[in-house]
């Protein structure tokens, strides 16, 4: 039996702009996924701990503070360190196009920048994230 | 062309509404303003209830202050940008602080990693503040500082820099945002729980009202409320609702309303809907004037006046076809001017990617200068006054905002409403509704959900190196080595005592920063006494 996809929507770092994260969280929930939202001001350690404890399939990071290069890398590193490199990491926020290839190379699977239709995020997840069997 | 006469017969079947989904009629007539009393509700510019503006001659007498927000890297980097902007005709400085500073962390705190100097300037001690304003005479310019939760600390540092330039606090002019309530509602850079935060803030306001007659000690901010997704009316209501809470708190502490109300200023967003925005500024002035005079019995006409800074809507800018953002910003800036703002920041075309480049900032500043010097809109006061449409919108928006403020009163005031999650919930509902409207094309965004270009050449963006973080860490350790550790310790102990009592915190904070206690150290004292606030994380 397949279970519902579980997705962690996380706001790492210090910025308080949570409009995007909350819109995404709600759109994913409305699409039938199980969504866990971390709330604001999370360290990469807190995000990875939540991802492990909640046993999520996908970690979606929202970053508008300009610290994306540092924060994505930290989350990916800690996931790997904890043997959870199979969790799909995606993200969104204010991310300059120049930074996108570098982030993808590090292991971020998809990045959704301003103007994204939430249905595109839902479609991408349906296509690219496989729920694990119970 | 053939079917044009046919189309003119009636409205198209779709509904016409403002950006905030307010239905609008095809034609506005004298009937729409029949309930308005021209003397009582509209009046003259410079007179109660200030619907038409706070000054008699408005921009004929003095243009609005063109105030571009700037700050990145270390204090030296931002000092250079300040001097660049001043040399291009900017009239006042506006300081953007980085995330760790906004949240009261020193750069060596683990959560500050990757964020030092990225989104604003890093200020960790008085030593940074001295460098930030190096060579800038503080009695010749006005400074705005966008800082909230740790506002009292940065305010104290600014006063201390003034002293080093040989200036008394009463010679310093400017604005500190210091609007902690909107942090809990929208911007979410908080430190201590709401009640303690208001106490810390009001200690600063109280001190400034006595020592700094030229200083605006709170800039009550709707900007972030709107950017988080509020409609124009919600922005109006929650912002003025916050204002009501500060005035109530001041009166409760025994402050004379006419002593501090004239030093309260406001900060609004200006979005794309031209007329809705003009009406919003007019409604805000009338509503505030009435609240201050009727509800709070303020006697000084300066207490009734809503003075405001405005910023074009960052959230309206698109990453797609970014040059279109210049046009959006122009429309928004024009609405702010026609709405009668006292000060304006225009966003740069590249801000959906990063902090702006110098070229992008220059275009944004030039936009204001073109409106001021070429468009002719400054020649007469409140040119839309008397327009059936604008007066009708002004009136509707005022009434709706009043109803929301009444609802907050019934809940027991803004602190209680925040505790119940009321404004936060209303805002996210509006944000979600708007997102749906965009996705179903009920609202068109050029370049995003219509008129899309397939291939777009990349634009140049500003890169801020992590180098700033290293330099900042180095300076912090140098400051710690040079200062008198015993005196720092004593000043922090004294501050802790003051925090635990009801003593005004400002003198103790001032003493601590002069000993080069860091921002993080001062804030840690607050946290140890008052606790910290955690995001409830509802969505």
Contact B539 A21 (CB under 8 A): yes
Q: B442-450 — which CB contacts under 8 Å span 24+ positions?
A: B443/B19, B445/A115, B445/B318, B446/B318, B446/B321, B446/B324, B447/B318, B447/B320, B447/B321, B447/B324, B448/A115, B448/B318, B448/B320, B449/A117
pLDDT number for residue B1: 40
Give the 3-state secondary structure of A7-18.
EEEECECCCCCC
B16 secondary structure, DSSP code: P
Helix, strand, coil share (%) of chain B residues, nearest 5:
50, 10, 40
d(CA B151, CA B146): 8
Regarding predicted confidence, which is higher, B110 or A103? Answer: A103
B357 secondary structure, DSSP code: P
Contact B102 A69 (CB under 8 A): no
Give residue-wise pLDDT tens across range A48-60.
999 999 999 999 9
SS3 B78: helix
CB A35 within 8 A of CB A86: no
Least confident of A92-96, B389-393, B496-500, B528-532: A92-96
Q: Chain A closest CA to B373's CA: distance in Å? A: 34
Number of alpha carbons in the 13 Å side-chain half-sphere of residue B106? 20
Confidence of residue B216 (pLDDT cuts 50, 70, 90): very high
Contact B535 A39 (CB under 8 A): yes
pLDDT number for residue B9: 55
pLDDT number for residue B86: 86
d(CA B499, CA B200): 9
- Pick the residue from chain B with its C-alpha nearest to A118: B439
In DSSP terms, A2 is beta-bridged to A133
User: Is it the case that residue B338 has pLDDT exceeding 90?
Assistant: yes
pLDDT number for residue B96: 94
Counts for chain A of helices (H) and strands (E), in that order: 5, 5
* Spatial CB neighbours of A39, under 8 Å, sequence gap ≥ 6: A11, B534, B535, B536, B537
The residue length of chain B stands at 539
Q: Chain A closest CA to B59's CA: distance in Å? A: 35
Contact B119 A66 (CB under 8 A): yes
d(CA B538, CA B420): 12
SS3 B206: helix
User: Is it the case that residue B10 has pLDDT exceeding 70?
Assistant: no
pLDDT number for residue A1: 55
- Pick the residue from chain B with its C-alpha nearest to A23: B432
What percentage of chain B has pLDDT greater than the value 70? 98
Contact B461 A117 (CB under 8 A): no
d(CA B96, CA B462): 16
Give residue for tokens 């200083």.
Answer: B215
d(CA B242, CA B264): 11
d(CA B128, CA B113): 19
Residues of A with CB under 8 A from a CB of B: 9, 13-19, 21-23, 25-27, 37-41, 43, 65-67, 69-71, 74, 94, 96-98, 113-115, 117-119
CB A9 within 8 A of CB A37: yes
Q: How many other β-carbons are positioned within 10 Å of the β-carbon of residue A129?
A: 19
Give residue-wise pLDDT tens across range B430-467.
999 999 999 999 999 999 999 999 888 888 888 878 89
d(CA A122, CA A24): 9
What is the ipTM, given to two decimal places?
Answer: 0.91
- Pick the residue from chain B with its C-alpha nearest to A16: B188
Nearest by CB to A14, which of B100, B315, B534?
Answer: B100
């Amino acid at each position: 039996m397949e279970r519902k996809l579980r997705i962690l929507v996380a706001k790492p770092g210090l910025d308080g702009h949570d409009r995007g994260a909350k819109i995404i969280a709600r759109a994913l929930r409305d699409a039938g996924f199980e969504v866990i939202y971390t709330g604001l001001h999370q360290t990469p350690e807190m995000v990875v701990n939540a991802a492990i404890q909640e046993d999520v399939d996908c970690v979606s990071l929202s970053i508008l503070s300009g610290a994306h290069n540092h924060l994505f890398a930290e989350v990916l590193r800690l996931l790997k360190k904890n043997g959870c490199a199979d969790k799909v990491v995606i993200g969104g926020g204010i991310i300059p196009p120049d930074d996108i290839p570098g982030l993808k190379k590090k292991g971020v699977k998809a990045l959704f920048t301003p103007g994204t239709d939430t249905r595109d995020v839902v479609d991408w997840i349906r296509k690219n994230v496989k729920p694990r069997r119970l | 062309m053939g079917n044009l006469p046919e189309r003119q017969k009636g409205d198209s079947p779709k509904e016409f509404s403002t950006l905030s989904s307010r239905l609008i009629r095809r034609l506005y007539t004298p009937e729409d303003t029949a309930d308005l009393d021209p003397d009582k509700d509209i009046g003259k510019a410079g007179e109660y209830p200030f619907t038409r503006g706070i000054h008699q001659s408005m921009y004929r007498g003095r243009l609005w202050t063109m105030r571009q927000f700037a700050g990145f890297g270390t204090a030296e980097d931002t000092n250079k940008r300040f001097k660049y902007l001043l040399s291009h005709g900017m009239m006042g400085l506006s300081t953007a602080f980085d995330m760790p500073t906004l949240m009261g962390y020193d750069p060596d705190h683990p959560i500050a990693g990757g964020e030092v100097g990225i989104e604003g300037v890093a200020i960790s001690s008085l030593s940074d503040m001295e460098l930030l304003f190096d060579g800038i005479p503080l009695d010749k310019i006005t400074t705005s500082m966008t800082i909230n939760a740790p506002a009292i600390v940065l305010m104290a540092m600014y006063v201390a820099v003034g002293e080093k330039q040989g200036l008394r606090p009463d010679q310093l002019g400017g604005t500190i945002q210091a609007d902690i309530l909107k942090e809990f509602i929208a911007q979410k850079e908080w430190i201590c729980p709401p009640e303690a935060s208001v106490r810390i803030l009001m200690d600063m306001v109280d001190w400034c009202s006595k020592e700094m007659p030229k200083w605006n000690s709170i800039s009550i901010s709707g900007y972030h409320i709107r950017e988080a997704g509020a409609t124009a009316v919600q922005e109006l209501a929650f912002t003025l609702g916050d204002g009501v809470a500060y005035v109530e708190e001041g009166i409760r502490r025994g402050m004379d309303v006419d002593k501090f109300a004239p030093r309260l200023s406001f900060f609004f967003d200006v979005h794309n809907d031209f007329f809705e925005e003009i009406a919003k500024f007019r409604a805000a002035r009338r509503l505030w004037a009435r609240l201050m005079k009727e509800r709070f019995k303020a006697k000084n006409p300066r207490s009734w006046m809503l003075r405001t800074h405005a910023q074009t809507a960052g959230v309206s800018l698109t990453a797609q076809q970014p040059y279109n953002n210049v046009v959006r910003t122009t429309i928004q800036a024009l609405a702010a001017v026609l709405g009668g703002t006292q000060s304006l920041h225009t966003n740069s075309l590249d801000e959906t990617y990063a902090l702006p480049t110098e070229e992008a900032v220059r275009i944004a500043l030039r936009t204001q200068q073109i409106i001021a010097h070429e468009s002719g809109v400054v020649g007469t006061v409140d040119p839309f006054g008397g327009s059936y449409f604008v007066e009708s919108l002004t009136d509707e928006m005022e009434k709706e905002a009043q109803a929301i403020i009444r609802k907050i009163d019934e809940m027991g005031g803004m602190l209680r409403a925040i505790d119940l999650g009321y404004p936060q919930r209303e805002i996210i509902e509006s944000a979600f509704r708007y997102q749906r409207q965009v996705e179903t094309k009920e609202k068109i965004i050029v370049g995003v959900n219509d008129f899309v270009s397939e291939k777009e050449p990349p634009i140049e963006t500003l890169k801020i190196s992590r180098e700033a973080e290293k330099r900042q860490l180095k300076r912090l350790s140098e400051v710690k080595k040079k200062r008198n550790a015993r005196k720092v310790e004593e000043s922090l102990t004294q501050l802790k005592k003051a925090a635990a009592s009801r003593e005004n915190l400002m003198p103790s904070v001032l003493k601590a920063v002069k000993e080069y206690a860091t921002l993080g150290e001062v804030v840690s004292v607050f946290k140890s006494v008052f606790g910290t606030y955690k995001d409830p994380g509802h969505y």
